[in-house]
Amino acid sequence: MSHRRAALLIAALVFLADGLTKLLVRSHVSVAETITVIPGCFNIVHTRNPGAAFSLLAAPEPGWRTQLLLVLSLAAVAVVAGLLWRTPDSEKLLRGGLALILGGALGNLYDRVRYGEVTDFLELYLGRFRWPAFNLADTAITAGALLVVLQLWRSHECGRN
């Protein structure tokens, strides 16, 4: 299997897993319901985020928000897909990171196009500190970004020697 196909397979698996988990939450968890998984640490919740990451721009319905987020999401998908296509086979971390970002971006874009908002359901907390709810797509995007940064750091460190 070519490296491009492998990267597209990773992106497709992230997209499908994200869609399946969101479907399960929408089907089996009421909006605002909380299911404690690890007391004091981790819950499954059902929230709907009309804004961007961490509920940015989620304030009451500005008419331009949905269109802006769709345009930005489409642009991000196009840029990441272009970078992924041009990434040399030798840069495995970069290719894997971009594949994760692409799959996650497509997952959230699908939600935004289909529902006008993104389903979030993972909630981490410690005491009164609660991380904003997120989903599998967000996790893939974050992990992918960390792999991209790691690849860039390694490339920079190797260039110094």
Res 49: pLDDT: 87
Res 116: pLDDT: 86
Mean pLDDT of successive 10-residue segments in the chain (161 residues)? 88 98 97 94 93 56 70 92 91 94 96 92 93 95 96 76 51
Catalytic residues: 120, 138
Res 136: pLDDT: 97
pTM given for the model: 0.87
- In the block, tokens 């389903």 appear at 119
**Residues shown for the chain:** 161
Q: How far apart are CA 88 and CA 155, in angstroms?
A: 13
